[in-house]
Structures are given as C-alpha cells and as structure tokens.
Chain A
Amino acid sequence: MSTPAEERPAGRPRTVVVPDLALVVLIGVSGSGKSTFARRHFRATQVVSSDSCRGLVADDENDQSATPAAFDLLHHIAGVRLRAGRLTVVDATNVKREDRASLVALAREHDVLPVAVVLDVPEGECLARNAARPDRDLPPEVVRRQRTDLRRGLRGLGREGFRKVHVLDGTEEVERAVVTYEKQYNDRREDTGPFDVVGDVHGCRAELEDLLGELGYELRRDEHGRPVDAEHPAGRRAVFVGDLVDRGPDSPGVLRLVMGMVAAGHALCVPGNHEAKLVRALRGRDVQVTHGLERTLAQLEGEDDGFRRRVEEFCHGLVSHYVLDGGALVVAHAGLKESLQGRSSARVRAFALYGDTTGETDEFGLPVRYPWAKEYRGRATVLYGHTPVPTPEWVNDTLCLDTGCVFGGRLTALRYPERELVSVAARETYYEPARPFLPEGEAAPATGTRRRDDVLDVEDVLGKRVVETRLAGRVTVREESAAAAIEVMSRFAVAPEQLLHLPPTMSPSATSTRPGLLEHPAEAFAYFRTEGVAEVVCQEKHMGSRAVALVRRDRSGALHTRTGRSFFGPGLTAAFLGRLGTAAEEAGLFEELDSEWLLLDAELLPWSVKAADLVRNQYATVGAAARTALPVAVAALEQAAARGLEVADVLDRQRRRVADAEAFTQGYRRYCWPTDGLGGVSFAPFQLLASAGATHADRPHAWHLALADRLAAADPGLVRGTRSLPVDVTDPTSEAAATAWWEDLTAAGGEGMVVKPAAGPTRGRGGVVQPGLKVRGREYLRLVYGPDYTEPRHLDRLRQRSLGRKRGLALREYALGVEGLERLARGEPLWRVHECVFAVLALESEPVDPRL
C-alpha cells in the first residue's frame, strides 16, 4: 500500500489519493506537522482537530485533563459532517490503536471509507518543533512514547480497517506531498443516460433477447449465433439490477450477453445476491447449492475455464450500486435507503444485495423483508429488483422491476427518464417459487403501474419545516403551527390520498379612501399596474364556501373545505361526486384531458351548507338583537324629543343603526337558503387545479372558466358558471367598465369579485405577484365588519388595517399550493404532496387579522 521513498525517483512528490467522501485520519506524533499538512491540503472547515476541541471544552488547547471531553466533541463533529456526506479530516496524534479503532468505527457507522495518512517524521525534528512552540510544554519522553506507539501500529493499519493507508516518510516527503481526490466507484452522477433499467433476468436469455429487441437494441452474435452484445441506435444504455443468473435455462448465455454489453460500454450492471453467491461457489467456498445455483453451476460445466474465470472476475468486480444522473437515480439490486446511497461499506453492500430484513422468517422459511420503500423519503429515484412482484408499483419514488420472469411472470424494464415500463412475457415457467408469486390460477398481469397509497410519517409534517417551492423559494413552517395543524389534519380532514390541495388564503385589495367604502376595484387595478401586469381578469365571487373537489372517473373522490373537512357525509358526498363525475363525462373532460381524475377549485353554495351554525349563532343572532332593541330605542328617543329634550343627535344615529341592521339582515339572508340533499346546492368551479400529469396553472383564466361553463351546461342544476370580465389596467375605459361591473354586482347584493393576473402565476417587481386580490362589496363587508361599519367614525378607524402579513401569507400559501400541485402532476410520492398541503394548513394557524 505504501511505497518507501527511496524506491521512487527523487524529487517526484508523493501523491496521496483520497476518496471524495472519506474520514481521513492523520497519524503522527506531536510536532510531526499534522496541522500544517491539514491546513495546506484541506479546507479549514474540513479539519477537526483535537487541540481546537480541547480549547472549545476547556479554554486551553493543551489541557490534557480535557482530552476525554475533547474527543467526545471531535467524534460528534466528525459524525455530523459524515452524516451530511462531507469529507472530514481528523487532526490528532492517533498513534494508539484504540484511538484509531474508534475512528474506524465512526467511519463505518456512517458508511464512509476510513483513510490513514501517516506523517512519519524523525523524532529529533519533532522535538525541535515542539521546543520552538512557546505554548506547548511537552516532555521529550512523551514524544518518544508516541513514536514507539506509532511504529508498533504502522504495519497493521490495513487490518485495522483503513481502506487506504498513505505513509509519508520523512520531513521532505511530508512537505512535498500532493493530495488528489478520487471518485467512489458507485459515483456515476455525470452519467445522465438515457437508460433502460432491466429487472431480474435469472437466466432467461430468450426473454432478455425479446426485451432488448422490444426496447430497440440491436443484438450482435458470435459465430455460434450466441448474443454477445446489444447496442441501441440512439445510444441508450441498459442498466441491469442484478440476479442475472440462477434458476433459469441459460445463465451463461445471459452472462455472455451482459458481459459483452458492459465491456462495450452499452450497459451497466450491479450485482445481485445470486451473483455474490456464484462468485463464492466458483471460488470453491462452501455454499449451499440451492435456489437455482445448482442449475447455473451445471450450465457452466458446459463452458470453458476461460469463460468461467471471466464470469468470476465480472461478478466479483461489480459495484454494489450506482448513483446516476446527477444523483437523481440510484440503481441497486435490492434497493437502497437514502442514508446509504453513494456510500461505501459492508453495510451498504449488504443492503444493496439483500435489502432490509427484520431477522425473522415467514411461513415459507424465507426472510421477512422490511418494507424500506414505504418509508423512503430520499430525493433520488431508486430502481431495484430482488423481490418478485406481480406488477411494478411506484412507492415513494422507488420501483421494483422484478416481475418474476423465471417464475412465469414477465421480464420488465423501465425507460429512464421517460419512466415508461416495457415488458415481455415469460415463455414458460422455469422454476417454482418457494412462496406463491402469483395468486393461484392467475396469469401474469399485464404491464401498468398503479400508485399505492403510501404511508405517511410524522416526520413528514411535524417540527419546524422548510418546504422548497419553485415560485417562492423556501417557505418556513413554524413548529407550533405544525403542532396545531396535525390535530385538525388527523381528526377532521379527509384522508391524505384524497386531500391533494388546500386553497391558499387571498388578500383584499388595498384599503380605499373613497367615502363610505373600505374596498374598491381601483386599488386592485393599481396594484397590478404597479407590478407591471397589464391584463387582469375580474371574476365574480358567489358568497359560497371555498371548496375543492377531487372527482375520479369511477365517481370516487372528495369534496372538502379550506381546512380539509368533508362538506357532506359519505352518502351525500357520493351523490355529489356521481353528479359531478357524470357532468365531467358528458362534457368530455376526462377524455379531452386524458385523465382519470380532475381536481377543481370552486365555491359551494349556499354558504349556509357549511356555515349553518355560524349563520344562526352569530349573524342571525346579531340581527335579531339589533332589530329588537333598536326600534324600541328609536321610539323612546322620539318620545323624549317630542318632550323637547336634546336628543336629536343620538336619535339620528339610532335611526341609521336601524337601517344598518336591516341591511345587515338582508345581507346574510341572501346567502342562506334551505337545501335538501343536493337540492338547492350549487357548485361553482373556477379553476381546474390539476388532472393527470398537468397543473394547468399556466393556462389563462378564460380557459378554466370555459371549462366550468361546459360543466354547468352538462348539469345546470348542480354546477354554475362564474361571470368574469377581462380588463386592461392601462386603459381607463376598460377599468371604468370593470368598476361599473363591480358596482352592479355588489349593488345587486353580490359579494364582490376577485382580480387575477390573466396569465396565471406572474412575476412582478419583487417576485411573484399576488395571484388574486378580492374586492368585496360594501354590503357584504357588513357581515365582516359589523352592521354599523359604514358610519364614518367607524370607517375611519377600520381603514387603519395592515395588509402586509396577509399579503405575505397569501403568497407563501399560494407558492405551497402550486408546488403541491406540481409535485402531484409529476407523480411524486404522496408524502411530497402532503408536505405542501399540510404546510398550507399549518400557515393558516398563524395570527393574521381574520377579517382580511
């Protein structure tokens, strides 16, 4: 491993090769120049030194009594860095075997390679350097003892577990050494494909030929007609997930083809457990010749020694797993959890070959496999085989491609990055599985993926969280907000797989200063103009409740509120989804959008459906009190005035209050009507949030509204359209027309309108602009600010409202909402979608003026 200096040409610097993720352990006595070496070759932040740790825990770098605490700290820092995948250099004497052993253990614990760099500098030199340092008072015998320890351990470093050992001999070699990095074998991030990832072949050579043909590869054969290579005309490459051999009819044939492809650069291959066992068998180790190995060995009998030797070398040389495509793709035989990806250790190899097992065996005597994929939260797609499944199913962005070809199933490949499955049927059942692979009497199911309802973990939602969004960058959710949201989510919301979106809150327009008004369209138009948005669209608000409907073609789905509660019980929900699904079918939407489901943003009317208690306990109650008390007060004051008392002012005010109370009562009555089942219920969609593979956020609002109109035409009894008006905010005429439209709407008792950028998500001066501003009508606002809010003395004070928090919240929730929908459209795992949905709910618990 190391080369004595004198054997190399003088003057050439020693090269110290270090894997780019490693724990580098410097070894040398005091004064050997470790810190200088570390400073010269590594970034200061990569180096953890025992001296500085001593300083941190004891205010004195030379306080030997602080050594145990200092090493605790050193191990902790190194551990945190390694967990994060950062190269770490330990600057301590490390001359004792036990000190090194704990560092080797630390490296293994984090599945990185331990590397030893020994600075073997003559004793005299070290003593001289120590003497020159005023801060260090080290007796010479200490250095001598360290050197004895060092010498004793030098030979055994490899056996101690160091995967690379560099011994720098003498001052000059230390001085002149050069450190270079090498990639790990599993690191092929620069390789971006495209790939065709092939599941477990198990000696099914004929099916492999079929599959490669199906994938578009051209086979090359040797003089005996045996395939020895396959090349894709477009330069695609195959990636084999291992278990090429055993059980099937022609393992040597499969090996010959795959080895040829790998050698020609047309394929990559990771080892399976069957290759690992084959290597041991070929090397004459004592292995149980079972599970189909007997067939492979028998088949190899028919091959020559050279082939057998090449098979042994090939299988032995396979790298446990590959990290591909910039880290976005990981291929390993039995899969690989995130903490082990791109790492190197015996544990990584064991996981990659055998998967996660619980240590128990099932009723068929096979190891019980732990469903690591259900808990997988990594960012890389993981493709694997190992456990035969009837149909590949995406689970948290992982996919098992072993469809049991050798057991009479299919041989399957996934096109990456297209994510298309391609498979061929087994020509026959070559081997009977120990555990039923297909339900009895069933043929292998056709290809097709179905998403499984993934399991959610509290770590997906609890605690302080930062969600990366495309629109607004990092959005932070406070721990208290998450704690509040989990209760609502767990107890009241519909199931997460039905809860794909929660609508963001919306800010009102800036406060108007016009007499008698709190909100007016002018401020909304001015906002968008200032943000550089010319085209906006005004949409009427129906004064219903905000609703999100998920309707699937099979009429399943959900209809829920802003906080995820179902509007109706199961029976009425089913009736609703039946009607809505039928309307969508008749309008041809499923077909046109090529989707089995639609997610709609809407209002559900009447308001009293959701808010019956609120209307009765708050609105009607206030109206009743006002309409009972005020006329009596007016009558009493009129009597007093008739007596000549000075009550004109207060009488005038009470008369106005009578009118206000009447207007208030009319206000809430407009939004309440009795419903019977779905009778009287109205659904007003205004945006198609998502359908299979698409969010439609960038479509113009006119497109969404036209779609809503088609639904309304299909079932006018249930669905109603939303009136809208396009406005050019740089054109005063257009603006005036829109203002008049709003005035008409609100004068007729309408709630008001929402002004949105016509083009969908739009960037303005400081990032994304508000996706919509509501401009509420004067009468509607009585239900928000109280019956008498229009009194000038009240209105003046109410105008002092601060919109900043609300605006910020609206944008963050909007960014989360869009992010969640985009993740949904990309087919990301449920937890990734749920993270966004949950975050919106959590943000809603932040203290913001509820009247805005």
Chain B
Amino acid sequence: MLVTLTTTHVPATDLGFLLHKNPARAQQVEVSTGTAHVFYPEADEHRCTAALLLEVDPVGLVRTARAGGDDGALAQYVNDRPYAASSLLAVALGKAFSSARRGVSRERPELVDVALPLEVHVPALSCRGGVEMAQRFFAPLGWRVDARAVPLDETLPDWGVSRYVDLRLGGDLRLADALNHLYVALPVLDDAKHYWVGSDEVEKLVRAGSGWLAGHPERDLITRRYLGHRTALTRRAIERLAEVDDADPETLDDAIAPPLAAAGGPRSPEGEDATDRPVPLAVQRHGAVLAALRSAGAQRVVDLGCGAGALLHALLAEPAFTEVLGVDVSARALEVAARRLRLDRLPERQRARIRLLQSGLTYTDVRLRGYDAAVLMEVVEHLDLDRLPALEHAVFGAAAPATVVVTTPNVEYNVRFEGLPAGTFRHRDHRFEWTRQQFADWVAAAGDRYGYTARLLGVGEEDPDVGTPTQMAVFTRGAATEVAA
C-alpha cells in the first residue's frame, strides 16, 4: 500500500525538511503490522515526491489477528490489507511523519504555516461509498479531487467496480493539514480499523481534526466512522471538538443524527421491516397479539420465535400472564433478549415468571407442551414452505396450546410501501409472503388438520384495495367440536 506526496514549491526539496526525511536516502520505519519505507522517486528544485510504502507482513497479520478487526477479515490470508490504503497505512503515516503532522520543522519553520502546492496520489484507496464519498470528504477541505473507481475485474465487466478508488488530490494546503486529512481519511473512507477502538481514539481524532473537522459538512459521518460507530465515543468527540473550536456544544450536539438503532420492528436488529418505519406497525402488532391473548384468557404464554424479546417485554409487563416462555432457534438472539429484559436484575417474583429456551420450531419439543397460548409473530414467513408442515405438527399437534396466534405480512399491501421495489419481500430472509387468500387457505387447512378453528384479523391501517399491512389468525383448539356438540 502506497501514498505519494508531491510539491512543486520552489525549492521542492524543502519537502524533505518538512517531512524530516532526507530525499537522498531511503529510510525505514518499523510499525506493528510491518515495515514502512519512505523514499523519494523524484527530488529536484521544481518537483519533489515523497513516497510512503507500507510493506505489510501478511502472515504476521493473520497470526496475530486482534479483536476489533474488520469482521474477522484479518483472520483470512486472502485479505486486501497488504494492498489497499487503510488504517494500517494511516498508522504508518502517523508514525513516519509525526513531527510534520504536528506542524513542526526545525530547518524550515517558516514553511510550516504556508499553503504549499501539493499533489497526493493514493492508488488503491479503500473507500466505502466510492468516488462520491471521496469527493465529499476531500472537496470541502480545499482539494481538487480526481477520483476514479477501480474495476473489480477488468476481464469480467459484469462484476462492476470494486470498493477501491484511484485517488489524486491537488491544491494549496499546509503540509500538516494535508497529512492530517489523510490520517483521518484512510480509516474513515475504509470504514474499518485494524485495531480496537478505545477511548483514546477520541483524543487522536480531536488532535488530527483540529482546525478543519468541526466545520466539515460530513463531520458527523467522519466522526462516527472514525470511532468505529461507537455512539458514546462519537458524542464525546463532538463535545470535545466543540470545546476545541470554542463553539456551543449544545448546538453541535443537536446536530447529531439520531442513533442508528432500528426504528422498525423490534425483531429486526438489522432493519427488518424497514418499511414499517413511518407507522409503528410493530407496536400495533404487539397490541393486537396481546388483545388476542387477553380475549382467550391465556395465562401461560409461549412466544415462539421470540427474537430479541420485544413481545416478551410486553407480556412480562402484564401480571395476568403468570408464565411467559420465550423460544428462539438462535442462541444469540436469546442472549440479546436476556440482556434487554435484564433477566439477571429482575426481582425474584418477576424472574420466576419468565424463561428463555432454545428450540427449533420444525422439531417437536416436549418442553412446549401445556401452555395456554402460543404466539408465532412474524415467524412463519422465515421458514421455507416445505418446512411448514413440520412447524404445524410441532405447534398444533405436539405443543397443542388452547390458543395459537399467528401474524404474517400481507404481501398485497407491499405496493403501499414506498421504496420497496415491486416483487421484493419486506425482509431478505422472508421465504414467502402471503396474500390474504393464501393466508386464509393455510389457516383453514392447518386448523382442519389439527382440530382448531380460527378467526382472521387485520393489523394496521386498512387499505380499501389491499387490506392491512399485517394479517393475523387466532386459532382455538377444539372449538368446532364444542360448537357441534
């Protein structure tokens, strides 16, 4: 990975004094991920270029992979870090040119605060957001930006562009600013760091961003990305930047975008049902499910596919539900649910009412027997259709609660969601979404097979043409024979 820095200031070789690196020698600086080489491909009166080449040790990188890396990518030998400009290069840059970055020069102090004609070349800049993102970062800082997308594989044009940008910058800037721009830009544009983001990162950002970050139109994005999306750190950094720039922290703080936490369905940590966002459909769904459970007089309730436990929270809040069991196939989801419900801190009586259990709904499970009611809220559509009979048997046949509440999307309503392309489901893991007729057919057939009768309800605002966004069925066991008798 490489970055070059050129000046046409006369005499250009003053660059060596500013960088504290002699143009007549190639020099090495050891960093934790390898060796940084500083050398000058050209150095004369009119043009001088310094190159920083970081030779990463790819084997060492994998064998000492640290926490906080890019989703375990560092654990792979096939890894772009030895080639792309990223936080590894930023660290090398910071170390090789530390004095220059602070604006210190013994030999040429008069040049430190002078805007010099500079050119920067980063041939493979890892840049999430592509060319446009590079523009948004550098242009407001006074750079002329020439950013070109690198194709993924020129022999396979169908594959499109890669995440790399061949970046050239030009402009008259102070050298220290230029270096600090790069120091912050590399990890921010890459949107990843190879080391753990601790609280000292706030200080590093404040130092490197001094004088330019507070007023940058993309300040929040830059700050959030630099700090590895750690919200608390982001807030602190914004405050500190305000202090440094003598601005009112309140006004700055107001500008922080709302937290990224999903405003959609509570079962959607990754933005499931993004289409729900304008209307709190998830809340309406909870209400409808709770109403059905109340109407059935259920006391012991099992939430099948409880996910992170939003409905469990609502069930627990209501003393009428004497026993609440949350079931999910994902052990991870149950951990999140336990944390969100603060199970370890609940008072003993409350704690005794709730249990969490891992189980797969296509398997029968004796532990699910004997409950008054079971809820399958936005669950069935996550199963392949050919697995539904197994779920039916496990729930209606084996667990056999007196009441079963099922909710699922009404696919007809999808046309009312702006931004949801026609023919796509509301969530990428949905295996199917049913029309009202399809749902009604399934409800009737499943009820028939296992001796349940059912009534159908809509959840959410009803559209005269396409119905409600969510459809719900409340199954009651054996009601038919009672009526017949």
Given A363-B484, A457-B365, A794-B58, also A640-B150 (CB < 8 A): no
**Would you call B51 and A622 a contact (CB within 8 A)?**
no
Of all chain A residues, which has the CB nearest B44? A643
Report A-chain residues with C-beta under 8 Å of the C-beta of B85.
629
* Interface-facing stretch out of B177-185, B193-201, B280-288, B356-364: B356-364
Q: A669 with B162: in contact, given A490-B362, A618-B78, A650-B55 (CB under 8 Å)?
A: no
Contact check, B364 vs A632: say whether CB atoms are below 8 A apart.
no
CB interface residues, A 779-827, toward B, < 8 Å: 783-789, 794, 797-798
B121 touches A462 (CB 8 A): no
Complex contact B363–A636 (CB within 8 A): no
Cβ-defined contact, A620 with B153, below 8 A: yes
Flag if A643 contacts B42 (CB, 8 Å): yes
Closest A residue to B478 by beta carbon equals: A360
Q: Which residues on B sit within 8 Å (CB–CB) of A495?
A: 384, 386-387, 390
Interface 1/0s, chain A 462-477, versus B by CB < 8 A?
A: 1000000000000000
A632 with B393: in contact, given A491-B329, A616-B159, A786-B77 (CB under 8 Å)?
no
Taking A455-B398, A786-B58 as contacts, is the C-beta distance between A640 and B360 under 8 angstroms? no
Judge whether A285 is part of the interface by a CB distance below 8 angstroms.
Answer: no
Instruction: Kindly list chain B residues whose C-beta atoms are within 8 Å of the C-beta of A646.
Output: 25-26
Contacting residues, chain A, for B330 (C-beta < 8 A): 487
User: With the chains together, A851 CA to B63 CA distance in Å?
Assistant: 13
Q: Which B231-257 residues have a C-beta within 8 angstroms of A?
A: none
Q: From A456, A625, A628, A645, name the one whose CB has the most chain B CB atoms within 10 angstroms.
A: A625
Q: Is the CB of B359 within 8 A of A645?
A: no
Docked CA distance A794–B60 (Å): 9
Please state if B41 and A643 are interface contacts (CB–CB under 8 Å). Answer: yes
Check if B82 sits within 8 Å of A788, measured CB to CB: yes
Q: Which of A457, A629, A637, A786 contacts B84 (CB 8 A)?
A: A629
- B422 an interface residue at 8 Å Cβ cutoff? no
**In the bound complex, what is the Cα–Cα distance between A484 and B163 (angstroms)?**
32
A797 surroundings in chain B (CB, below 8 A): 59, 63
Does B80 contact A632, Cβ atoms closer than 8 Å?
no
Interface 1/0 per residue, A422-460 and B, CB below 8 Å: 000000000000000000000000000000000111111
- The reply to whether A636 and B359 form a contact with Cβ atoms under 8 Å apart is no
Question: Are B58 and A788 neighbours in the complex by a CB distance under 8 Å?
Answer: yes
Q: Quick one: which of A457, A484, A628, A798 contacts B124, CB cutoff 8 A?
A: A628
A623: B residues at CB distance < 8 A: 153
Residues of A within 8 A of B387 (CB): 495
Q: What is the bound-complex CA distance between A628 and B59, given in angstroms?
A: 21
Contacts of B214 in A (CB 8 A): none
Are B364's CB and A455's CB within 8 A? yes
Residues in B neighbouring A653, C-beta threshold 8 A = 55
B53 at the interface (CB under 8 A from A): yes
Measured CB to CB, the nearest residue on chain A to B480 is A363
Query: DSSP majority for the A interface?
Result: helix
CA of A461 to CA of B363, assembled, Å: 9
Whether the pair A640, B40 counts as a contact (CB closer than 8 A) is yes
CB atoms of A645 and B363 under 8 A apart: no
Asked whether A625 lies within 8 Å of B53 as measured between CB atoms, the reply is no
The CA-CA distance from A789 to B60 in the complex, in Å, is 12
What DSSP secondary structure best describes chain B's contact surface? mixed
Within 8 A of A (CB), among B347-361: 358-361
Cβ of A461 to closest chain B Cβ, rounded Å: 7
Chain B residues whose C-beta falls within 8 Å of the C-beta of A626 in the assembled complex: 80, 82-83
Min C-beta distance of A211 to chain B, whole Å: 35
Closest Cβ–Cβ distance, residue A773 to chain B (whole Å) = 21
A630 part of interface (Cβ distance < 8 Å): yes
**Closest residue on chain A to residue B58 by CB atoms:** A786
Residues of A within 8 A of B390 (CB): 455-456, 495
> Among B39, B51, B78, B158, which residue has the most Cβ atoms of chain A within 10 A?
B78
- The listed residue (B84, B151, B358) touching A486 by CB distance below 8 A is B358
A462 to B4, CA, bound (A): 57
Q: Which residue in chain B gives the minimum CB-CB distance to A566?
A: B384
Closest to A368 in B: B451
**B41 x A640 contact (CB < 8 A):** yes
**A647 at the A/B interface (Cβ < 8 Å)?**
yes
| Chain B, 132-155, CB within 8 A of any chain A CB | 150-153, 155
A413: Cβ under 8 A from any B Cβ: no
Closest-by-CB residue of A relative to B153 is A620
B382 close to A (CB within 8 Å): yes
Q: CB-CB < 8 A to B172: which residues of A?
A: none
Q: Which residues of B contact A679 (CB under 8 A)?
A: none
- Tally inter-chain residue pairs, CB-CB below 8 A: 187
Do B83 and A851 touch (CB < 8 A)? no
Residues of B within 8 A of A661 (CB): 83
Residues of A within 8 A of B358 (CB): 462, 483, 486
Is A672 engaged at the interface, CB distance under 8 Å to the other chain?
Answer: yes
Q: CB-CB < 8 A to A3: which residues of B?
A: none
Check B40 against A628 for contact (C-beta < 8 Å).
no
User: Which of B40, B83, B360 meets A458, CB within 8 Å?
Assistant: B360
Residues of A close to B325: CB separation below 8 A: none
**Inter-chain contacts of B42 with A (CB < 8 A):** 639, 643
Scan residues 466-485 of chain B and give those whose CB is less than 8 A from a CB of chain A: 478, 481, 484
Known: A457-B363, A629-B124, A672-B156. A624 touches B78 (CB 8 A): no
Which residues in A have their C-beta under 8 angstroms from that of B83?
622, 625-626, 628-630, 661
- Whether, in the assembled complex, A515 has its beta carbon less than 8 Å from a beta carbon of chain B, the answer is no
Q: Which of B162, B366, B394 has the most CB of A within 10 A?
A: B162
- Is residue B37 within 8 Å, beta carbon to beta carbon, of the partner chain? yes
Residues in A neighbouring B25, C-beta threshold 8 A: 645-646
Chain A residue numbers with a CB within 8 Å of B153 are 620, 623-624, 665, 669
How far in angstroms is the closest Cβ of chain A from B319?
Answer: 30
Q: For residue B438, which residues in chain A have a CB less than 8 angstroms away from its CB?
A: none
- Give Cα distance in the complex from A661 to B80, angstroms: 11
- Give the CA-CA distance A90 to B120 in the complex, in Å: 89
A102 at the B interface (CB under 8 A): no
B:362-376 near A, CB below 8 Å: 362-367
CA gap between A615 and B398 in the complex, in Å: 44
Closest to A800 in B: B63
* Contact yes or no, B77 A785, CB < 8 A: yes
Return B54 CB to nearest CB of chain A, in Å. 10
A456: chain B residues within 8 A (beta carbon): 362-364, 390
> Judging by beta carbons under 8 Å apart, are A629 and B76 in contact?
no
* Contact call B359/A458, Cβ cutoff below 8 A: yes
Distance between B132 CB and nearest chain A CB, rounded to angstroms? 19
The interface bits of chain A over 647-658 (1 if a CB of B lies within 8 angstroms of the residue's CB, else 0) are 100100110000
Query: Which B residues touch A629, using CB under 8 A?
Result: 1-2, 83-85, 123-124
Please give, as numbers and ranges, the residues of chain B lying within 8 Å of A455 by CB-CB distance: 364, 390, 393-394, 397-398
24 residue pairs bridging A and B, Cβ less than 8 Å apart: A457-B366, A458-B363, A458-B364, A462-B359, A483-B331, A483-B358, A491-B382, A494-B384, A621-B164, A622-B79, A625-B164, A628-B124, A629-B123, A632-B2, A636-B4, A636-B41, A637-B39, A637-B41, A640-B51, A643-B41, A669-B153, A674-B158, A785-B77, A786-B78
Task: List residues of chain B with CB under 8 Å of any chain A CB.
Answer: 1-2, 4, 24-26, 37, 39-43, 49, 51, 53, 55, 58-59, 63, 76-80, 82-85, 121, 123-124, 126, 150-153, 155-156, 158-159, 162-164, 166, 329-331, 358-367, 382-384, 386-387, 390, 393-394, 397-398, 429, 478, 481, 484
Q: Supply 20 further A-B pairs (C-beta < 8 A) apart from A621-B163, A625-B84, A669-B155.
A: A457-B364, A457-B366, A458-B359, A487-B330, A490-B360, A620-B152, A620-B156, A620-B162, A622-B79, A625-B80, A629-B85, A636-B39, A637-B39, A637-B51, A639-B41, A645-B39, A647-B26, A669-B153, A785-B78, A789-B59
A interface with B by C-beta (< 8 Å): 360, 363, 375, 455-462, 483-484, 486-487, 489-491, 494-496, 616, 618-626, 628-630, 632-633, 635-637, 639-640, 643, 645-647, 650, 653-654, 661, 665, 669, 672, 674, 783-789, 794, 797-798, 851
Per CB-CB distance, the 10 closest pairs between chain A and chain B, nearest first, are A639-B41, A786-B77, A490-B360, A625-B83, A629-B124, A624-B162, A632-B123, A628-B124, A625-B84, A626-B83
